[in-house]
Structures are given as C-alpha cells and as structure tokens.
Structure 1
Amino acid sequence: MGWMEDETGLERGPANHVALTPLSHLNRAAAIWPEREAMVYGDRSWTYAEYRERVTRQAAMLAGLGVRPGDVVATVLPNVPAQVEASFGVPACGAILNTINTRLDVDTVAYILGHGGAKVVLADTQFLDLVEDACATLEAAPTLIEVPDDAAGHPASGRHPVYEDLLAKADPNMPWIMPEDEWESLALNYTSGTTGRPKGVVYHHRGAYLMTMGTVISWRMVLHPRVLVVVPLFHCNGWCHTWMMPVLGGTVVCLRDVTAAAIYTEIAERDVTHFGGAPIVLNALVNAPAADRRDFDHTVQVYTAGAPPPAATLARMAEAGFEVTHVYGLTETYGHVVENVWQPERWSSAPEAEKAALRARQGVAYPMMEGVDVFAEDGTPVPADAKTQGEIAMRGNAVMKGYYRNPEATAEAFAGGWFRSGDIAVKHPDGYIQIADRAKDIIISGGENVSSVEVEGALMHHDAVSLCAVVARPDKKWGEVPAAFVELKDGAEATEDELIAFVRARLAGFKTPKSVTFGTLPKTSTGKIQKFVLRDRVRAEAGAA
C-alpha cells in the first residue's frame, strides 16, 4: 500500500533518513544562536555555545565514570542547571536518563535505583542523605556525584566527588553518540504506582522529538520564548519542555523552589513568557499576598494539568496577566497529549458559567497523537453524549515503549492497540473528552500520584489496625489528600495522631493521611470495602466545611 510501481533506487540512506532525536535540537541551536541566552539560574546565565559545551562535558564525564551506551544514569535533583543539562548530556553519551522524584522515601528511591540499574546518580546536596541511605541498601550501588548549590544554602558535604569539579576536567569536544534508531531508549521515568511499587516507563527518542514539535504548535509558540521550569523535571522530564526549547532558540529559566513570590520575581525580572504547573501553583499565584507579587507588562501563557481550575481561579489568573490552557496526560505519554483547544468562533459569546464548563474539559488530541477516545468495557467507543462513561485510551507517537522489565503490565496497558489510561471520562458531541473520575483508587495530591493501596499497606502494619481504607479527600491547597478510615482490633486503641505519625515514618510526607476516621467500614455482602461510600462521605464533608 502506498508503494509506486517502480521504486528502484528509492532507498533509505543517511541523506534522506535520520533518526529523530531531541539531541538534534541543541546541536542546531548552538550552531545558529551560539551567543543567545539558553539557560538562566539566579544571577548566572549561559549562552547556547556554553550550554552545549557543558552538556558535552557532562557526557564525557559520565563516559569517564564507566557509563556505556544503554546504561542508566539517575538524578535526584530539583530544577537546577545540572538537571537541565542532564536532559541532553546523559543521552549524548548513549545512556538513558532516569530522573527520580525528590519527594520519595528511602525505600522507593532504593527500589528505583535497583530496578533501573543506575550506574551513576547525580544528587543535590539537599537530598544527599536520602540518596546515601537508599544506596546503602543496594548490593550494587551507583557511583554518587554530588551537586551542591551554595547560593541556595547547600554547600558540598565533602563526602563525594563534586559535579562542577568533574565537569571542569571533562573533554569539551567529545563527539556525541547519536541514536542509530529513533526507537532507542531515551529516558526511564517511574510512575507513582497504583499498587505499592512504581512502574518504569520507557521513552524513545522519536516520541520526545515529536512531543517537542507538537507542543510548539499547540502552545502557539514563536521564536525565543522564555520558559520557567515550574513543573519538576522528574515529572515526565518536565513535559519535555527542556528538550523543546532549543527548537525555538528559547531560554530555560531554572526554578529551584516553587513559591508564588519566586514565580512572580522570575516573570518580572527574567521576562518569562511560559510555564506549566499543577492547579496548586495557580491557586498560590492568585492567593499570593501583595508583598509576594510583582508587576509585569506581558501576558504569560500557562499550561495546567490535573483537576480543572475553578472558574473563579481562571478569572483571577486572567486579571493577573496569565492565560491558562488546560491539558491532560500521563507519565506514559511524555506528559500532556490532550489539550483544551479553545474555539473562539463558537464559545467566546457563551455565558461565563458555560465558558467555565467548556474550559473544564480535557479536550482533544495533540498533533503528534493519532487518536484519543473513550472506550466502554466491551472495547467499543462510548457514544458522544457527554453522559456515558468509559476509559480514556490513546495511541500515537507520544506513547511510551512500555514498562521496563514488566511485559505483563505493558501488554495489559496496550490491550486492543491503544494505551489504556485507567482514567474514566465521557465524550462530548464535538469529540472533546472530559474526565468523570480518576482511576478508582488514585489520589492526586499537589500533582503527585498517591497509591491508596500503598498507604493502606503501611497502616495495616500497625498492631491496632484490623481493616482500613484510604480515599481522596478534596483539599483547597493540594487538590486532594489521603483520608484514612480505620477499624481497630477488638480491645485495641490508637489515636489519629499516632497512626499519621506511624505512616509518616514509613512513606513520603505527601502520602501520609491527613485525617483518620475510626469506625466500622461499609462493606458488600462478600466483605469488600465500599470505597465509593467513603469517597461520597469525605466529599460531602468537604462541601459542608
């Protein structure tokens, strides 16, 4: 199909077929904009020529430490230059980048380092204890490189080789190892998991490359944007924004600590034009006190993912100079792959309440996706009636290769030739999808996925706990937080504070229940806990508060 009758001599070759990779973007940008500002952090900035040299030195440094093509290099870093540089430096030596969530607990970090098989880990001094404790549990621990940040109050500990020292000694002219096949692995990102252990999501070069191109179109970007990296670069590699910036000769503005004051300052002083963030970031901006705000004279384009912001928040964001676009995606899809494309011809004259409802929808597929749909349990698309619920499924170039070392989970996720998201939605008559409910047991707290099963498992280790269930409780600051319901053993006693402290000692802070309710749990006739009853209860209580 699609072949001409005679294609003699029409073969693929190096002149007409090159593997797609985001590495090409930085090579091009350094060639045509060598003196243009590529990256900013605090009072320091780097041109594209300097940026590319630092990336090359990082690749040479890693190769000198024994990293070979196909090896995994991990990072436990906030959004600082070393993390941005790793986006290109790690794959430039042929390795796979594994950015690890800095908010995780020791056991989970150890699992990720072990499961991914990291050969080297770059660790910020602030998180050095976490990484050291995780490495201490491993039989084959990675080489640890410390990344201090004196300006932020995190000087080098003196216990490990220092990133900048090694960078200074590395070869600035080492040839990059470019992929021969665009299906080669580029990054390994671990989900927060719907069961106890996270799954390793593998990205390929092709997907990341096309993600950068699709985002430029969908975000209506032009040359030389200035993007503030608010989204942690350990979340879907920052939605691929650092790989995208060289396409446009843009500037990455690093942000270590996300606060309203810091965001306003960077916008005002660094002329930030774009950033992405969870709804909690929007709430912080519109509720910031006057002392934290700064005036700026341009509109800032904002991507937000997760629960749609309330209409009041969107209105206040617009008044403050921000234009917000709602997007949707998952770790498995490189970040955002569904966008709420605004239809001014049809929607601009709608009443404000209707506009808010329109903006709450997740939307339609990005340009690099082949399709986004909602499927019933029998595998057929649900009718576009805005009522019938089904599971969101996607297919296209920005879908992961699969789950690392987990073929069973990969096969399940790709059943029927689509990636099954686990999120429940409806489809409107115009084809726009809208999430009706998150996958049953996932709690999304401040942009982080929390597994209710994992939290329940921690609670069940307490001697006084007989049964428990954890559900999402609406929260004005975090969107959702874990709420625990507990049945105690006969004659046993425990307090709310005691159980919360018990879980906090075992899991990351954001996974810790924020409330514990004691009593008999609602169950079916077969003894299954009816979580929907508990969810309805906490929502009703939140609405009455």
Structure 2
Amino acid sequence: MSTHSNPYQFGLDKNSANFSAMSPLSFIERSAFVFPNHTAVVHQQTQRTWSETYRRCRQLASALAQHGISKGDTVAVMAPNLPELFEAHFGVPMCGAVLNALNVRLDAEAIAFILQHGEAKVIMVDREFSEVIEQALKMIPHKPLVIDIDDPYYEGGHLIGATDYEAFIATGDADYAWQMPEDEWDAITLNYTSGTTGNPKGVVYHHRGAYLNAMSNIVSWDMGHHPVYLWTLPMFHCNGWCFPWSLAASSGVSVCLRHVRADDIYAAIKNEKVNHFCSAPIVLNMLNNAPDEMKAGIDHKVKVMTAGAAPPAAVIQGMEAMGFSVTHVYGLTETYGPSVVCEWHQEWNDRSDEEIARLKSRQGVRAPMLDGLMVADPTTLEPVPQDGLTMGEIFMRGNLVMKGYLKNPTTTEESFAGGWFHSGDLAVWHPDGYIEIKDRSKDIIISGGENISSIEVEDVLYRNSSVMEAAVVARDDEKWGEVPCAFVTLKDGAEVSEQEIIDFCRDNMAKFKTPKKVIFGPLPKTSTGKIQKFVLRDQANKE
C-alpha cells in the first residue's frame, strides 16, 4: 500500500481570494453593476431598473438592521406578486434575516400559527390582506412590527401598520454595506407547506440551495439573457420556485401580477412581450378555455413551465397548439420547487401531437443541480425496475433538498431516513430513465386489490370535450373496498350526463378503472391551485 502524501493537500487552503459562500444575493449585485439601466421590475405604470431595485433592497436591509433585525430573525411578508415581495427576497437576507413569504390564501388561524412558530419579528402586509392579518395578530402574544404595503394600484383594505414600506425603507441607507453569509448553509428563507393534515410544517432553505436552484432553472429552461417573466406563480410558493433569484442572475424583467386571470395574463403577454411564465396545470386549463379573441395577437414565442399537479396530456396539447412551448417540471416545497424536469429530446419532435403531449406529461429526470433521483420501494429503498409499470416512491438527494423542518427534528429525521428525501409521491420508472407520477401515496385507489391511478383516470376525463376540470378520488365500496369517484366541472354551455361520462371512460380505459359515480360542480382548491382531494374524499363518501 502506498504511503506517499497527497501534494494537493498542502498549501492549497481556502481563503477569501479563492472561495466564497454561494448565495443568490451575489446575483443582484452583478445585475445592478452590469445592467444598471435595464428594466428589472414592471408593476402596471411603475418601472424600475436593476440599479434602482438594488438600491431599494439595500435600503430595506439597512432599515431592518436599524430596527435590530439580524441573523436568525424572521421577517414575514403577506402580499401578492408585487415589487415589495420581490425586493424582500434580497433585502431581508442581506441583513442576515430569514424571509417567510406567507401564503395569501390562508385563514387567520393558520397565519397566527405560522407567525408564532416562525417567531416573526416583522410582518409586511399588503392592504388586500389587512383584515386577516389583524385577526391573526390578535391570536398571538408577541406582536411583530407591522409595515403596510400601500400599493397605489389597489383599492380596498386599510392600513394597519406602524409605518408603510416606502417610509420604512426611506430610513435605510442606499449604500448599506451588506455582507454575504459567512456560511452558505445559513438559512435564507422559511416556507410553510400547505398543511392539509394538521399544522403546516416550516421548510427551511439555505443560501447554497437557493443559489443552485436559481441556476438550475436557467439551465433547464434555457432562459438566456434578459427574459421577460410574468409572475403568474405565487412568490410565496417555494419562493416562486426560486425565480426571483433566477431573474437576478439572468438580469431579467419581473412583470408583477396581483390576480391570476386569463385576461390579465394575455394582456401582459402582449403588452410587455412576456416570454416566460410558470403556472399550475389548472391555470393552463383556464388559458386554454379563454375566448379566441383574448388569445389573438401573440406573435412571439412564449415558454411555459408547469408543475404543481401532473398536467393532463390534453392540457399540454392545447397550450402547444396555441404556439406556447411547455416544459413540465416537478418538485416539492422541500426541494426548492422544481428539481425534476421533463428534459426534451429533439428526436421526439417528429412524433404525433398526442404522443408529444403524453411524453411531456411525464415528470422526467433530475434537474441540472439535483444529485440523486430514484423510484424505489418506500420501506427497503430498493430501486424499482425501469419497466414503466412497477410503482414505487420518488426519492431525491443533494443540494436541492431543504435543510429540514423548523423545530421539528423527528419529522426531519423521518423524511431523510436512509440518506434520501422521501417525497410521498408514487411513480413508475420508464426504460428511458424518466419518472412518471401515478399518485400521492394517499390518493391511490385500491379496488379489489388492484391499484388504480387517479391521475390516469383524470387524464381520460380531460380528453372529453365537455370537461373543464376533473378530479378522481376513492369512494368506499362494500364489494371492492374502494372504487373511483369522479368530480367534474363542465365547460360553459356544455351538457353531458353522468352516464355519458362513465361510458366515455369505459370506451377509453380498462373497465375496472372507470368511475362508478360522477359528481358535477366546482372543485375546491388550495392556495396554489391544487385540487383539494381530501375535501372531495369526504364528499364522495357522504353522497
């Protein structure tokens, strides 16, 4: 055995000249330096350059520091996709604090829990949410500093804070000498999962993961220089899938959008020449079903990134038919948003439209900065065969996995058991290495001992020309244990009976997978546009 010393271990230490912690904060400094006069933010008639935005972020950091906010303190924001929330993604961590962007659709009780659990010292509140925040603050003993976001383009709500955002940052120093984190493992943001069962869990992100996923977005979506990005995806959701930082790295334009409506989206695409936006499949479905005159007049290429639920192939096909290029990604709050991408192969372009849509509806392979991805047995962690049939749980590992759950070491340990992050999503692994989700482990329907994927049944329902939205859940059944029950929202003016829907499914899939009952009406959704299947399960078993 060789005993010679390793020459690469001597005199080659890390120092300030050759090493710095990775942080997405470095991106905004560069964009402000290289492209100071390039537009960074558009909010209706308000436009700001990268130098102006950087200055405001430094003022925010300085004002927070003057108020005693420092490393390890939490700053919460309750706002729609506005410039102030974009600036908070930089200004808050610039003073060492941790940003907690709140889900704007939560009720007062959930917000009170989050503010108390995350120990927020400051909360910034847009007028639209003043009432719910007032109620939440009454429920907690320690009152944070409340700063109003007084959006000039919004009417309604009222001011509840000690000061407003503009007055607050005016007290800050535009030349504030902010510091990069000492350690890239330091927390940068706190994001609470939607908490469909019990209290929401606080997912902690570090600077390194935020930096790497911001870059992963750019590479996997081929964003190039100066993308014009429309904020249809909530910035509170996994920090907008890390896109505030991606836009700083690519010196892009953030086009803000308060409410996600088809007319506003199409108007922004045309007026601002938007060429990138992200959304849940439910939003794509809304855009597909908008009137033709609203869709007319888009003469440039628009890239769409979708995730949040497996998109039905028919929805992807509809978007592509309009000339929009769809990239399907997958991830969780715990993986900084998208960490898996349906990477496209040029040789697939000559397939039929239907085949292309089906390929695009798969979740895909690991994103550029994710280290490990597998479909495996949830107990043994033994990878399943890549046969496109055997179901297992999706596991990830690497830099795009959270630090863990705040103040919850037991759940953190369980989710990392065996050295992998357990997603809770069930999928198959195809021979080409691409994964395809078949269900959440709690959504799979076991009928007469056979596993039925609710997603597969929904895919067929979406192919029916009368169906606007569909969701399938398990309904208790004396004979089979469980049977599929479909909830359907019809398109305006469409008329179709329960039996016609059942017959359509029977003609397009295995008989045992066909829904035994169809219930018509609007579908309940979470704050991020996902259909609330736990509500539907209750309803299915009461019918």
d(CA) in 2 for partners of 1:222 and 1:355?
Answer: 24
1:315 to 317, 331, 343: 317
What aligned pairs does 1:485-504 form with structure 2 within 5 A after superposition?
none
Deviates more, 1:327-336 or 1:378-387: 378-387
Match of 2:357 in 1: 356
* Aligned residue in 2 for 1:88: 90
Q: Name which of 169, 173, 176 aligns with 1:174.
A: 176
TM-score by length of 1: 0.81
What is aligned with 2:127?
125
Q: How much does 1:509 deviate?
A: 13
Q: 2:25 aligns with which of 3, 9, 23?
A: 23
User: Quick one: structure 1 residues 517 and 418, their matched pair in 2 at CA, closer, same or farther if it must change by over 3 Å?
Assistant: closer
Q: Which amino acid aligns with 1:372?
A: L
Instruction: Give the deviation of 1:142 after TM superposition.
Output: 1.2
Q: Within the alignment, does 1:65 sit opposite 2:67 as a pair?
A: yes
Aligned residues: 472
The 3 A distance-change label for structure 1 pair 6 and 366 is: closer
Q: Provide structure 2 residue ranges, at least 5 long, that are not aligned to the other structure.
A: 445-453, 456-472, 474-481, 492-521
Matched, 1:428 2:430: yes
Displacement, 1:128? 0.7
- Matching of residues 46-445 of structure 1 within 5 Å: 46-154=48-156, 156-157=158-159, 160-345=162-347, 347-376=348-377, 377-440=379-442
C-alpha distance in 2 between matches for 1:202 and 1:477: 40
Assess if the C-alpha contact under 8 Å between 2:317 and 2:353 holds in 1: no
**Higher alpha-carbon deviation: 432-441 or 230-239:** 432-441
CA displacement at 1:24 relative to structure 2: 0.1
CA shift in 2, pair 1:416/1:519, >3 Å: closer
Question: Once the 2 structures are TM-superposed, how far is the Cα of residue 16 of structure 1 from its aligned partner?
Answer: 0.6
- The separation in 2 between residues aligned to 1:213 and 1:232, in whole angstroms, is 19
Asked whether the equivalents of residues 194 and 441 of structure 1 are also in contact (C-alpha less than 8 Å), the reply is no
Q: Cα deviation per residue 1:355-392 (whole Å; 9 max; x = unaligned)?
A: 33212210000110111101113220011111111110
Per-residue CA distance 1:238-287 (angstroms, 9 max, x = gap): 00001111211111111111111111111111111101000111111111
Query: Which amino acid in 1 is paired with 2:223?
Result: M
Distance 1:206 1:295, change over 3 A: same
Q: Report the residue type matching 1:25 in the other structure.
A: F
Of the structure 1 ranges 276-285 and 148-157, higher mean CA displacement relative to structure 2 is found in 148-157
Query: For 2:284, what is the secondary structure of its paired residue?
Result: helix
Q: Any idea what SS the aligned residue of 1:206 has?
A: helix
Inter-partner Cα distance in structure 2 for 1:472 and 1:144:
46
Q: Show structure 1 runs of 5+ residues with no match.
A: 445-451, 453-468, 479-499, 521-537, 539-545
CA distance in 1, matches of 2:530, 2:187: 32
Report how far residue 164 of structure 1 moved: 1.2
Alpha-carbon distance change, 63 to 434 in structure 1, aligned in 2, over 3 angstroms: same
Q: Which residue identity lines up with residue 378 of structure 1 in the other structure?
A: T
Aligned partners of 1:472 and 1:169: how far apart in 2? 58
Return the offset for 1:319.
Answer: 2.9
Could you tell me how far apart the structure 1 residues matched to 2:489 and 2:165 are?
A: 39
Structure 2: how far apart are the matches of 1:193 and 1:515?
A: 17
